[in-house]
A and B are shown apart, each in its own frame.
Chain A
Amino acid sequence: MSPEDRLSESVGRLYQEQGSSVRRFLTLVLGNHSVADELTQETFLHLWRQPTAFDASKGGIRNYLFGVARKKAADWWRRNGRRPAVPQEPAPPSADSLLVRDAFERLPAESKTILWLREVEGYSYDELSGILGVPVGTVRSRLHHARQLLRSIWKQEAK
C-alpha cells in the first residue's frame, strides 16, 4: 500500500469517528445542514490534502479538526453574511431544548462556537485557547458573555 493510500485510509477512519461531532458543531454554528455537511467534508479533505499541517505537539487531532472547522465556518459566514441562507429545519423534541436551540441560533457565530465547543464537545479552557487562538482569559470572558447573551435570549423566547 502506497503512502497516499495509507493516508486516505486514516483520514477515512477519522471521518467515521469524528465526522458526526464536527458536523453537529457546524450545523449548530451555521444553522444549515447541507452547508454543514459540505464544510465537514472540506474539513477532512483539508487534512487529507495537507497532513503535515497537523502538529501533534499543539494538541490532539480532534482539536485540530475543530479548529479547521471553526475557520471554515468563519469563512462561510464572511462570504454569506450573518444569517443562514436556508430556513431552519424542525428542531429537537423537548420544548425546553427547542427554546434553548432557538435562542442558541440567534447568537453571534463567535458565541455559538465557543459555547458549543465547551458545553457539547467538552473542551477545556486551555484546549479552547488553542482551537480559537486566543488567551485563556479571553476564553473565560467570551464564555461568560455568550452565556449571558444566551440566557437573555432564552428568557425572552420563553416569555
Chain B
Amino acid sequence: MNCTEAEVYVSALCDGQQIPDDARAHVLACETCHRTLRVYAEMGAELRLASLAETAPLPPLPLPHSRKRPFWTKQVPIPRLAIAGLAVCAVVLPLAVSIAGAQSRPLWFQFGYTIGNPGEPLRYFVAKEGFDETISGIHMAAAGPASAALRIKIERIASDEVVFRARAVPAPVEAPDAATRSIGSLGPLRMDGAPALRYRPGEDFMIPIEGGGAVYLRGQVRDDQPRIAFGLPLIPEPDRLSLRSPALFAAEKLLVQMAGASATARSPDQAVNLYIPDEGHFTFALEAFPGAVQARAEWGSIDFELEGRSYRVLAAAPVTGGDQPRTVWVRRDETGRMRCSAACLGAGPVPR
C-alpha cells in the first residue's frame, strides 16, 4: 500500500476507527502519513483549544411565559368517539325535536255551518280536540229565516280527518237578544247515543235536523291557531270588504258607533251598506261604481272626503286583505231612507 492509497484511512485512524491492517501498518511505518496523522491530531487539539476561548455568558433564553388559563378555557382530551357522537347528535337532535314538535303541536279545526243549503258559512268557529259547545243561529233562507241549534263535540283532529259527534235540533225563530242573535232558551242538548261522524276537511257535511231540514258543516284543519274576529277571519281575503263594529266620524265628530254589528261583502260585486238616520246611506265597495269617490283603506280604517267634508271609518278588525293601503270606493246618498229607526249595517249588491 502506498501513501495515496492509505491517505483516506489517516483521518479514520485519527478518530480511532478500525481500518485495514495493511493501511494501519503503512501509516505507522510511513513518515509522511505519520506526519499527516500528527497534523490532524494537532488541528483537533487546536480547535478544542479555540473552543475554550468562547467564554461569553449565555444570553437568557426568552421562553414565552405560560398563561394561567381559567378552568373553563383549559383544554381537555375528548375521545374521537365522543366527538363523532356529538356530531351525530347535532344533526339528529334538531330533526327529532322538530318531528316531535310537529307531532305534539295541537291541530285546529275552523268550521262553520249553514242551514238548509250548503254554502259558505256566515260565521266561523275555532275548535281544538275536546271542543263541546251548543251553537245556534238564524240563517236567511229562500223560504225565510231558518233557525237551528247544533251541539258539536270534537273528539279527534287530524290533518285529513275530524271525528266528532253532533246533534241538530230546530230552534224557535226568536231573537231574545238582538245583538247576539243567540237562542238562549234552548239550553244544552243531550248527546246520548249520537254516533261518531268522520269529516274530511273541505267538504260540505250534512247533519240532519231532528224533525226535518239539515245543517251543512264546512271547515278546514290548520296547524296554527286561526285568527277569528266577529266570526270571520281576522284579515279578510283581498276580494272581500268587511266592516266589523264600525264607527263613522265626520270632521272628527262621531256620527255613529255600531259595537257588535258586522257586515261583509263576500265578492267584489257586493257592497257594505251603512245607514245613519239624518246622515244618509253610505255604500262601500272594492270596485268603482257610479257616483262613488275613492277612499283610502288601511287595515281597520277608511278615510275619504265627500263634498268638502272628511270622513273616517274606524273598524274593530281589518277592512280588507291584500297590500295596504288599498283603494276602496264610497258613495253617500242623502235621499235613500230605510225602515230602521236606528243605524243599520248590511251587505248587498253594488249599485249600478
A residues near B, CB below 8 A? 2, 4-5, 8, 11-12, 15-16, 19-20, 23-24, 27-28, 33, 37, 40-41, 44-45, 48, 91-94, 96-97, 100-101, 104, 115-116, 118-120, 125, 140-141, 143-144, 147-148, 150-151, 154
Q: Check B43 against A150 for contact (C-beta < 8 Å).
A: yes
- With an 8 A cutoff between CB atoms, is B73 at the interface? no
Q: Check A147 against B61 for contact (C-beta < 8 Å).
A: no
- With an 8 A cutoff between CB atoms, is B252 at the interface? no
- With an 8 A cutoff between CB atoms, is B177 at the interface? no
Seed contacts A23-B54, A101-B46, A115-B47; 18 additional CB < 8 Å A-B pairs: A12-B61, A41-B62, A48-B63, A91-B53, A92-B50, A92-B53, A96-B42, A97-B53, A100-B46, A101-B50, A104-B47, A116-B47, A119-B47, A120-B47, A125-B17, A143-B11, A143-B15, A151-B36
Instruction: Chain B residues near A125: list those with CB within 8 A.
Output: 15, 17
Instruction: Chain A residues near B7: list those with CB within 8 A.
Output: 144
**Taking CB as reference atom, which chain B residue is nearest A27?**
B54
Instruction: Chain B residues near A119: list those with CB within 8 A.
Output: 43-44, 47-48
Q: Check A2 against B66 for contact (C-beta < 8 Å).
A: yes
The CA of A143 and the CA of B53, in the complex, are separated in Å by: 24
The CA of A15 and the CA of B62, in the complex, are separated in Å by: 11
Instruction: Chain A residues near B42: list those with CB within 8 A.
Output: 96
- Chain B facing A: main interface SS: helix
Q: Check A28 against B50 for contact (C-beta < 8 Å).
A: yes
- With an 8 A cutoff between CB atoms, is B40 at the interface? yes
Q: Check A33 against B43 for contact (C-beta < 8 Å).
A: no
B residues near A, CB below 8 A? 7-8, 10-12, 14-15, 17, 36, 39-40, 42-44, 46-54, 56, 58-59, 61-63, 66
How far apart are A101's CB and chain B's nearest CB, in angstroms?
Answer: 5
How far apart are A121's CB and chain B's nearest CB, in angstroms?
Answer: 9
Instruction: Chain B residues near A33: list those with CB within 8 A.
Output: 56
How far apart are A154's CB and chain B's nearest CB, in angstroms?
Answer: 7
Q: Check A16 against B58 for contact (C-beta < 8 Å).
A: yes
Instruction: Enumerate 6 A-B pairs (CB-CB under 8 Å) in ascending A order.
Output: A24-B54, A96-B42, A100-B43, A119-B44, A120-B47, A144-B7
How far apart are A59's CB and chain B's nearest CB, in angstroms?
Answer: 18
Instruction: Chain B residues near A100: list those with CB within 8 A.
Output: 43, 46-47, 50
Q: Check B66 against A45 for contact (C-beta < 8 Å).
A: no
Check A151/B43 contact, CB under 8 A, given A125-B17, A140-B12: yes
CB < 8 Å neighbour of B11 from A23, A37, A116, A144: A144
Q: Check A147 against B56 for contact (C-beta < 8 Å).
A: no
Instruction: Chain B residues near A15: list those with CB within 8 A.
Output: 58, 61
Which interface residue of A4, A5, A97, A119 has the most chain B CB atoms within 10 A?
A119
Which interface residue of B11, B46, B50 has the most chain A CB atoms within 10 A?
B50
Instruction: Chain A residues near B54: list those with CB within 8 A.
Output: 20, 23-24, 27
The CA of A48 and the CA of B39, in the complex, are separated in Å by: 41
The CA of A48 and the CA of B59, in the complex, are separated in Å by: 17
Q: Check A11 against B46 for contact (C-beta < 8 Å).
A: no
How far apart are B146's CB and chain A's nearest CB, in angstroms?
Answer: 88
